Structure 1
Amino acid sequence: MPHSPLWSLVLALHIISIALWIGGIFYAVAILRPSLGLLDATQRNSIMLQTLARFFKGLTHAIPTALVSGWLLILHEGGFANVPWTVNAMQGFGILMALLFVRLYFGPYQKVRRSIRPQASAFDSIRMQMLAIMALGFLAILSACLGHPFM
């Protein structure tokens, strides 16, 4: 296919949305949460809830952007049957990540958000599910790298 600035923009949107998604999860799990250990439980829970609310609001835009832009790029390359297995693996990881996010958002996150005094175990459940999403994101990135021909 001929090079077009439009497809470069679609690819840029795809990469930016993935970077926000996986990078945001990495920040929340590996940097923010351990740093909050110095605070008392009430302050820690409040900051985590406020952070998750803002982050999840952003993900409601980043996730659909990642999925739709990825599908557009696949269609641009000739459709699902014409892309390498690594692209299909990447798509599978992305769909699984999105489904896990929906499960996280409507499950443990809503429970914690509605709780008067959320327990640490509820935040641990959120953390574990975010770690699973992050691991799948790393696998999706690995798939993208495996499928990229180096010149």
Structure 2
Amino acid sequence: MIMDPLLHFLHIASVALWVGGMFFAYVCLRPAAGTLLEPPQRLRLWRGVFARFLAWVWGAVVLIAVSGVAMLARVGFAAAPLNWHAMLGLGLVMIAIFIYVYFGPYGALRRAVDAQDWKAAGAALGRIRQAVGLNLLLGALTIAVATLGQLAA
């Protein structure tokens, strides 16, 4: 069916956007910003980066969930390979962490930067860093399960 390649593309492209964006932010941008910018500039930068990136992640999360559920429905939950079930579970945990970041520490970061409360902004950024680090690891594990899990089938 024509929808299968389209669903697969949307799923993989959205995962690449989300996990790739986290990798870039955590491994490349964070260390560079930490050594090149003073806290007020660094925190303003992160506020702007997250405003743009998290909007894209919302779209990616929706596309990942819709495409994943649609592909699962085509096969049937009971007939789906074990690695699909693992992917679903890991994805739900990742989405929960993203929602926590968006409505928790990211909101605190926005408010603190707007108020020029650099200590509170730094604390919020630290919580975001920890959550993004965990989600990055879970994202890498999910990709491994999705691709290497096929070997066990």
What's the CA shift string for 1:43-64, capped at 9, x where partnerless? 1111111001100011111101
Aligned-pair identity in percent equals 37
- Residue number among 125, 147, 150 corresponding to 2:149 in the alignment: 147
Residues 112 and 118, structure 1, Cα contact 8 Å, conserved in 2: no
Alignment correspondent of 2:16: 19
CA distance in 1, matches of 2:69, 2:32: 38
In the alignment, what sits opposite 2:65?
A: 67
State the 1:122 CA deviation.
1.9
1:117-132 to 2 correspondence within 5 Å? 117-119=117-119, 120-132=122-134
TM-score normalised to the size of structure 1? 0.92
> How many Å apart are 1:118 and its aligned residue?
3.4
2:82 alignment counterpart: 85
Aligned Cα root-mean-square deviation (Å): 1.3
Gap runs ≥5 in structure 2? none
Select which of 108, 119, 139 maps to 1:137.
139
Structure number with the higher helix fraction is: 2
User: 1-side partners of 2:99 and 2:33: how far apart?
Assistant: 25
Residue identity opposite 2:132 in structure 1: M
Residue deviations 1:63-82 (CA, integer Å, cap 9, x gap): 010011011111112x1111
May I ask how many residue pairs the two structures share in their alignment? 146
CA distance in structure 2 between the partners assigned to 1:80 and 1:19 by the alignment: 25
Contact 2:33 2:42 in 1 (8 A): yes
